[in-house]
Structure 1
Amino acid sequence: MPNIVSFENIDEEHLILNIDKVKVISPIRRILLLTEFIIKWNRDNKENLPISVVHNLTSLLDELGHNQIPISALNLDDSTEHWQSRFLSEFAQAWGSVLQNEIDPLEHKNNYINNIIYSKDEHVIFAGIHPSKICHALIKIIYNLEFGLIVLPNLDLCMKEEEWSRINEEHYQYCLKGLLDYVGASREDVQYLTAAPKIGNELIEYAFDLSKNLYDFNTKEDSNFEIITCKSQEEEAQIISMIIKNEENVSLFISDGLLSKRINSLLNEESATDNYYLYITFLLYILDILTSNWGSVELLSLLKHPFIDLGYPKDEYNKILADFEIKILRNLNQMGIEAIKKGIDSYNDSEISSFFSKVEPGFAPLTSNINHNISKIAKAHIECVQRLSKFLQLGNEISDFMVALIRECEKVEINTLELYQKILNLLLQNKFSSISNHLHRFSLHKNKVVILTNFNEGHFPPDFQNPLLSPSMRKQIGLPSTQIGYFQYTLYNLMHAEKVYITRSVKGISGVNRKPFLLQRLEMLIRKNGNALNKQPFKEWLKLLTKPDFIISCSRPKPKPPIDVRLKKLQTLSSTAVEKLIRNPYSFYAEYILDLKPLRELNFKPTIMHFGITIHKIFEKYLLSQNNSYEILLNIAHKYMNFPSIQSIWWPKFQKIAKDFFKLDVERRKNFSVVEVEKAFSWPLSEKITIRAKCDRIEHLLDGSIAIIDYKTGSLPTQSDVEISPQLILQAITAMHSMNREIKELMYWRFNGKQAEIFTIENHEEIVQFLSTNIKDFLSNFLNENVPFTASYSLNLKRSSNYKHLERTEEWL
């Protein structure tokens, strides 16, 4: 039997026989040493490069090794670029000294190939191609053997010589041309394996060869392509997972990390042993909790992981966890374990307290080793895994990986849990993430079914350029300017599979995705060929799988609560409540009659709404102080603006708002004698209904009239909005009835940190009169138990609502 060896492992036997002589650096140690360099560089240069730069350095080392370029080539002239040149020069010197007693894997492979000896009568066949000079060197050795044979898949022997000589680096035949030039052969020296030359698939030839006119294509044969266009990446992941489950010998190309995670998640819903997805997430979630200071999202991610039950029966565990989330985590004002324990103590729930007493000790090994060497942190990490999940048996590969990591960590001086977390992320991605997008690892003879995912502009062809190198730096080092030609060649080969699925999603993170030129050309050829683009019903299957067994018809919500409830809830109404009743009666029903309140978000952070509430409070305290000093305004602000991110986000914005407000307030003081703030008024419409309103600012003008002002930090209403958002009008009516004073001005003051804006309501007397006349009949109408609180849609589309999911507008509209 022939001895079959992959190019990836060509030196494996030599390594085994010379294990004591050759010390090849392990992938784990390589990443640890690169991380050490990044940390030292940041410290020495007062920089803050992310640890993820290790990925770029790893790919750079691989590229140098593949192209037989020594590390010393990175000693670039500082005048060529800015920080990259200095960074790479220091890296070259540091890396050279680090590897004094060890050797890089690609350097060893290079040495092995250069010194390989084949006997004269030995038959050696090399099939395939890799763009590296290492591969070219091996092919040249085999080519020069008496019985050496080279098999070059899909070399175009029909292209005219003139066209062949002109093909550029991005052409799918360029890498083959470069190989023939390197070994000193021409296409005339190449023979077909079959008796007569035959183009494998004319449709693919026309798609890739831009010199061919699409109108000349008239071949009628079945296409091996299915192009599936999805609405979203989520749908794309679902369809890809369905194809993988229903097809055999699938080769998958993924260039998008998020899509890869989605597919892994779908494929591992039933089993965690296929590619260790759940094991890896479990390892990382434990670290996320501590590095996020016990963030609620991170804590729930771990507690909802299928590997954790803390010894409870499943149903009981889910019930306690739901109570813990709603009662404790969603009511925290700040993060941290002390805040969680304080919340549990204040709630005084023994069941939740007992539950958390089983969670906290699981992290004790890590909390006591946070700033130690990462070798100790790794050991503590494993102990935490065992404490939190007694039944968990780590897969052999995961266990071997963690043992190797602990061993290698002892040789480096890296501390802190944060660094350990980043390094572990890097290593797990490198070790266990999908390698399907590593082009040179595709085995052509296995490609019965190929899935080319995320086939959108920007991903096909993907960006192969290392961000550490500019084009001029690549040229100076001696690296090829692009790898697109090899990508096109690999893509060309993959498209000759028995079945090719091309998937893409219309909607992407940054907007609408565009089709790459190759796909546009391919679709035109398929249509011209008379074939359908989507022949297999995977999208239809997905609809059937996700379609509910039955659909309950949904009519427009029109609840009719009993009269006693109506009398109780409408007895005293705020101006805000009245406005919501006018805009959407159902939203009023959900909030004020059913008393439904939205759950607070996890890891609560102040929003622009909370910022606006705080500004109202600051302005109130400032005006009550009877002091016109700008310094007093800032001092008051410091007392109330004490939430997180104040210095970096809110405070600079507030300073501009404070200047605008102070200037406007000083100008207005010329026209009034007294200013009242946050003053509440009542307006009894009838014995059964009373409206209450609170005004942000009331100015008693010198002519005896008043001005009512409402502060805004969001968008300003328009004149037409006032009729459907009458909150300020209601404030004016209640103030007018209580004070018996003429209202001269109704204004909104808007402060957004850019420029103060004033919007004065025109003809406010008419609007006030109209609302005063009609509001009583409108509200009294809802005291009739036959009148429903109907869901509105014409106004609801303009504003978001906490109760929109209850209205189910899209189902009845």
Structure 2
Amino acid sequence: MFSASDTPRVFGLTAGADFPSQLAQGVLARTADLAPEALARVEIYVNTTRMERRLKECFSQNGARLLPRIRLVTQLARDLPFRHIEPAVSSLRRRLELSQLVTALLDREPDLAARASIFDLANSLAGLLAEMHDEGIAPSVLQTLDVPDQSGHWDRARKFLQIVEQFFGDDSAQPPMAEARFRRVVETLVELWQSTPPQHPIIIAGSTGSRGATALLMQAVARLPQGAVVLPGFDPHLPRAVWDRMAADETHDHPQYRFVTLCRALTIAPTQIALWQDSETQPARNALVSLALRPAPVTDQWMIEGPKFSGLDAATQGLTLLKAPSPRIEALSIACVLRDALERGKTSALITPDRTLARRVTAALHRWNIEPDDSGGVPLGQTAPGRLFRQISTLFGRKLTAEDLLSLLKHPLVAGVTRAAEREAELQGPKQEGRGYHMLWVRQLEGALRRNGPAFPDRTALVHWAAQREVDDGRMAWVRWISDVIEGFEPVTDRSLSAHLDHLLAASRSLVGGADGHDDRELWSKKAGHEARKVITELTREAPYGGTLSPSDFSAMIRALLARAEARDPNEPHPKVRILGTLEARVGGCDLVVLGGLNDGTWPSLPPPDPWLSRQMRTACGLVSPEQRVGLAAHDFQQAMGSNEVVLSRAIRNAEAETVASRWVNRLTNLMEGMSQAGRETLVEIEEKGRVWVEMAERLEKPDASVPRATRPSPRPPLAARPRQLSVTKVERLIRDPYAIYAERVLKLEPLNALAKDPDPRLRGIVIHRIVEEYVEVHRDEPLAQARARLLGIAQKVLEEDVPWPSAQRIWLARIARIADYFIATENARRARGTPVAIEDKGEMHLPEIDFSLRGKADRIDRAEDGSYLIYDYKASSPPSKSQLKKFNVQLHLEAMMVEDGHFEKLPAGRVTHAQYLGLGSIPKTTEIVFDRDHVHTTRHELIALISAYDALDKGYTARRAMEQMGYDFGYDHLARFGEWEDSDDAVPEDLP
């Protein structure tokens, strides 16, 4: 197939070439004159599965024939039966083993790192271990590093690095990782080929040699009698002087530097690399990009070669620079570009390392029912099975909140209905389809939990809810099934990985299969289920190496494992629209490519954090440096720039700040600006082409008509719909925010309580009321110390019963302890003035003049020795001020009126002389009201005037009429669209039917 050669055989394909197609054509052309079976003896090794699949398609398109053997480079370690090399262990097992070693180290020296980071540290060590194996670097190299700054960080890092030493050497008791076995296989193969080189053609294609073991294999293949290496994205436009300068300066961040390294190892010059095929797709653009990406030390050549560049028009034909104002508009603009290419019958691809951008573009394409062929797929943790596993694992070892329970029950895989329950429910009402009964009961349970459910629902609470229905429609069996599953979560403690995993699988299967366990196949169905089964099966197999884990460590492990795995979308993708990572982009074959996310920090990406070795230390060891990663990313960029149509895309600003354009885009634009007037005009033209797509995307995002800003509402419902009964506290609300009364009493709307129960001010008020009431009932004339102990004992009991958060219990008990002496002293003073005769007493008063009823519930009413009454109201915060009492806080005035008219259940009519607000906040304070003999008449007159005002048709329920300086609303501001209007805006009345 190849003619004899005294030098290693290295070929290149230029940027933009359809690599699989050109490779196949070259192989067919070189074997055209040979026997048909000669092609079958050709071995071709490629670096990605997509390249392998595409290459086979290219050979098949050239008619029926025997095909060459096409494999992945990494398959060598699996296919070649070198018995002296042990089979590789999975990377998961190695990470689990490392996590145990890290745990043991932290047990000895707990100050080295947080225990929550054990699995992350093990992952990082596993990555370093794999890289060292791949590059053939022994741990002794790390020990000989010259670190002049002997800081504590390096000392701590060395203790972790010593962990990996046992995994090196032929005499290691540990089986090798995949990278170590691949390196040993390559070294064995190279040694074997030196004595008995194969005579059939062997080709390594599409790899840059960025991995040490792969580079070693490429060098060996290039020296074989019928071996060849075909490099992707080779730049034939670089002058020899630039190649030599790169070799001398070691400019690792240049896209062609890996080829310099390969040529140096093969003792050939880069200019000796021949083109695999003579044709070049975009010679002018490749030359322009080559000039733009010259190494930094020689960019002064722009001054000389830039003005002489004659192919600018040809180079920028089909080139677009798209600068979007935001990532969202960038994604939509890219989607418009891809759709336009599809309508023109062209194949297109988005190439980006930014998975968030890829997902946004996919979502934007869905508006036209276009499903792109996404090489990245979806992280398994974001699929239905992955989310279920993550949700359950986070519940181990802690109490289940209402939010946890409902998010679990609403998961799409949780069926949750027994066949018996279905039959019983069908008898009680119309049949629901699919998960109908389950979701019906979940919604009803959610309503109950939002209204007055416990913070941590358990079996007792669930059974109580189900028992409230007179006829059991099957939900009792449903809640028992749920209870059986969730009861096992909280008791989980440190245990073996196998035990954690068994519990996770049992809970998952029970939730998916329902109480009867009749069918959990949905958990493992579709592509996501298949991938989840692979991950769980591997974890089950390697679990014995996981040791003992805490619930939080197990949850972190599950999240990490699911994040590393991917599942392809089960929908059939469109064959002409692709989303590719930068590595898959070498496959080529697209008429139009969009290079998306071209901002520094995205493409090229920021170097990954390395907790072990600095940049200089990595270079000294021979590991891949951050600059080399930038060079590989630059090569991917250069490769994609050779396509027929190219759109360079970036967002000018992200969610936080303005972005910086990718260094390669900056180089290209700076070069064009400095060329000549023609260069600047051409740059404006390609930017204008991008602006067209941005404007199109912005038009798609803009609503068809402007939405007018909401006005301050003041609805005027019919008189018959207006409330004829209010409580004393609702009268205060009517004064401050009439719209809240309208929404609650006319529209019959209630604020939706949050699912997540918190120790909020409302609960604190309830708790304070109960503590005070219980203390008042058992009050004795006793020394302060005994009274204080009695009060705090009651507080402790009430907090344990009503506040299920230990931290809140301690904080609130400490607050009560701070005000205990004040409260006891003032309580003794209150006892001297009168005796409690009514606690939480209810009353109702009818005003026949306006046909209106007033209801009230007094916290406490005392009777003085002269027979008069004193009314007290407890506040968990500060009491109202004197000015607020005159205008807004009329509760105690109304209660006093009701007492004097004899409208409380437990009290005869009598005069009220005083009332007090007892503020029991962090700074205790009381506000007292002294009533004169005319207060009943005055209060009654003002109440009748207030209600009568709202009995007029022209009186509207204005939103936030007199909120003053309240730090909270009544739960209806969002309904009134507050925020689109301000408190200073005039109300707009609206008559309602």
TM-score by shorter chain over 0.5: yes
Residue in structure 2 matched with residue 4 of structure 1 by the alignment? 44
- Give the whole-Å Cα distance in 1 for the aligned partners of 2:360 and 2:797: 45
Distance change in 2, residues 1:148/1:97 (3 Å): closer
Give, as a single letter, the amino acid of the residue that structure 2 aligns with 1:340: L
2:238 aligned with 1:157, yes or no? yes
Match of 1:492 among 632, 637, 652: 637
Asked whether the 8 Å contact 1:65–1:106 carries over to 2, the reply is yes
Match of 2:211 among 127, 132, 144: 132
2:465 aligned with 1:465, yes or no? no
Distance change in 2, residues 1:426/1:621 (3 Å): same
2:796 aligned with 1:638, yes or no? yes
Structure 1: segments with no counterpart, 5+ residues: none
Q: How many residues align?
A: 789
User: SS at 1:62's partner residue?
Assistant: helix
- Give the whole-Å Cα distance in 1 for the aligned partners of 2:433 and 2:813: 52
Match of 1:350 among 472, 478, 489: 472
Cα deviation, residue 261, structure 1: 10
Cα deviation, residue 412, structure 1: 5.7
Deviations 1:245-268 (A, max 9, x none): 886563554556798699699989
User: SS at 2:688's partner residue?
Assistant: coil
Residue in structure 2 matched with residue 569 of structure 1 by the alignment? 725
Residue in structure 1 matched with residue 563 of structure 2 by the alignment? 429
* Bigger Cα Rg: 2
Residue in structure 1 matched with residue 286 of structure 2 by the alignment? 200
Distance change in 2, residues 1:655/1:255 (3 Å): farther
2:91 aligned with 1:27, yes or no? yes
Deviations 1:115-146 (A, max 9, x none): 42355895746544254333443444456568
User: SS at 2:322's partner residue?
Assistant: strand
Match of 2:754 among 601, 604, 617: 601
Residue in structure 2 matched with residue 340 of structure 1 by the alignment? 462
Residue in structure 2 matched with residue 67 of structure 1 by the alignment? 135
User: SS at 1:100's partner residue?
Assistant: coil
User: SS at 1:49's partner residue?
Assistant: helix
Asked whether the 8 Å contact 1:230–1:506 carries over to 2, the reply is yes
Asked whether the 8 Å contact 1:452–1:503 carries over to 2, the reply is yes
Q: What is the TM-score normalised by the length of structure 2?
A: 0.62
Distance change in 2, residues 1:100/1:477 (3 Å): same
Distance change in 2, residues 1:748/1:229 (3 Å): farther
Match of 1:806 among 940, 953, 975: 975
Matches within 5 A, 1:211-230: 221=316, 222-230=318-326
2:563 aligned with 1:394, yes or no? no
Asked whether the 8 Å contact 1:558–1:788 carries over to 2, the reply is yes
Cα deviation, residue 516, structure 1: 2.7
User: SS at 2:565's partner residue?
Assistant: helix
Match of 1:250 among 346, 349, 354: 349
User: SS at 1:789's partner residue?
Assistant: coil
Residue in structure 2 matched with residue 85 of structure 1 by the alignment? 158
- Give the whole-Å Cα distance in 1 for the aligned partners of 2:912 and 2:486: 67
- Give the whole-Å Cα distance in 2 for the aligned partners of 1:238 and 1:464: 29
Distance change in 2, residues 1:651/1:303 (3 Å): closer
Identical counterparts, % of pairs: 15
- Give the whole-Å Cα distance in 2 for the aligned partners of 1:317 and 1:356: 13
Matches within 5 A, 1:224-373: 224-230=320-326, 250-251=349-350, 253-255=352-354, 277-285=383-391, 295-309=401-415, 310=417, 315=433, 317-318=435-436, 320-327=438-445, 328-330=448-450, 331-333=452-454, 334-347=456-469, 350-353=472-475, 356=478, 359-360=481-482, 373=498
Distance change in 2, residues 1:286/1:257 (3 Å): farther
Give, as a single letter, the amino acid of the residue that structure 2 aligns with 1:281: R
- Give the whole-Å Cα distance in 2 for the aligned partners of 1:552 and 1:105: 63
Distance change in 2, residues 1:709/1:378 (3 Å): closer
Asked whether the 8 Å contact 1:369–1:380 carries over to 2, the reply is no
Match of 2:81 among 12, 15, 18: 18
Deviations 1:534-580 (A, max 9, x none): 44377358649x989x999998765545545535234xx323x2343
Give, as a single letter, the amino acid of the residue that structure 1 aligns with 2:734: L
2:715 aligned with 1:578, yes or no? no
Distance change in 2, residues 1:306/1:557 (3 Å): same
Give, as a single letter, the amino acid of the residue that structure 2 aligns with 1:445: G
- Give the whole-Å Cα distance in 2 for the aligned partners of 1:69 and 1:659: 64
- Give the whole-Å Cα distance in 2 for the aligned partners of 1:568 and 1:97: 91
Cα deviation, residue 432, structure 1: 2.0
Asked whether the 8 Å contact 1:320–1:351 carries over to 2, the reply is no
- Give the whole-Å Cα distance in 2 for the aligned partners of 1:366 and 1:267: 41
- Give the whole-Å Cα distance in 2 for the aligned partners of 1:419 and 1:408: 16
User: SS at 1:224's partner residue?
Assistant: strand
Asked whether the 8 Å contact 1:622–1:636 carries over to 2, the reply is yes
User: SS at 2:125's partner residue?
Assistant: helix
Cα deviation, residue 463, structure 1: 4.1
User: SS at 2:126's partner residue?
Assistant: helix
- Give the whole-Å Cα distance in 2 for the aligned partners of 1:675 and 1:212: 96
Cα deviation, residue 12, structure 1: 1.2
Cα deviation, residue 106, structure 1: 1.1
Asked whether the 8 Å contact 1:240–1:263 carries over to 2, the reply is no
2:183 aligned with 1:106, yes or no? no
Distance change in 2, residues 1:668/1:795 (3 Å): closer
- Give the whole-Å Cα distance in 2 for the aligned partners of 1:622 and 1:456: 66
- Give the whole-Å Cα distance in 1 for the aligned partners of 2:357 and 2:971: 29
Matches within 5 A, 1:792-803: 792=960, 799=968, 802-803=971-972
- Give the whole-Å Cα distance in 1 for the aligned partners of 2:483 and 2:260: 63
Moved more, 776-785 or 683-692: 683-692
Cα deviation, residue 356, structure 1: 0.9
User: SS at 1:88's partner residue?
Assistant: helix
Q: What is the root-mean-square deviation in Å for CA atoms of aligned residues?
A: 6.2
Cα deviation, residue 209, structure 1: 8.2
Cα deviation, residue 72, structure 1: 5.8
- Give the whole-Å Cα distance in 2 for the aligned partners of 1:168 and 1:806: 62
- Give the whole-Å Cα distance in 2 for the aligned partners of 1:302 and 1:79: 45
Matches within 5 A, 1:437-516: 440=583, 442-443=585-586, 445=588, 448-450=592-594, 452-453=596-597, 461-469=605-613, 474=618, 479-483=623-627, 485-486=630-631, 488-490=633-635, 492-493=637-638, 496=641, 498-500=645-647, 502=649, 508=655, 512-516=656-660
User: SS at 2:975's partner residue?
Assistant: helix
Cα deviation, residue 636, structure 1: 3.5
- Give the whole-Å Cα distance in 2 for the aligned partners of 1:201 and 1:759: 84
Deviations 1:400-446 (A, max 9, x none): 55444444446665578876655444333323268999755553525
Residue in structure 1 matched with residue 955 of structure 2 by the alignment? 787
User: SS at 1:581's partner residue?
Assistant: helix
Structure 2: segments with no counterpart, 5+ residues: 1-26, 28-41, 49-71, 423-430, 570-578, 674-682, 901-910, 983-993
Asked whether the 8 Å contact 2:734–2:740 carries over to 1, the reply is yes
Cα deviation, residue 24, structure 1: 1.0
Residue in structure 2 matched with residue 539 of structure 1 by the alignment? 697
Moved more, 82-91 or 193-202: 193-202
- Give the whole-Å Cα distance in 2 for the aligned partners of 1:735 and 1:643: 33
Residue in structure 1 matched with residue 55 of structure 2 by the alignment? none
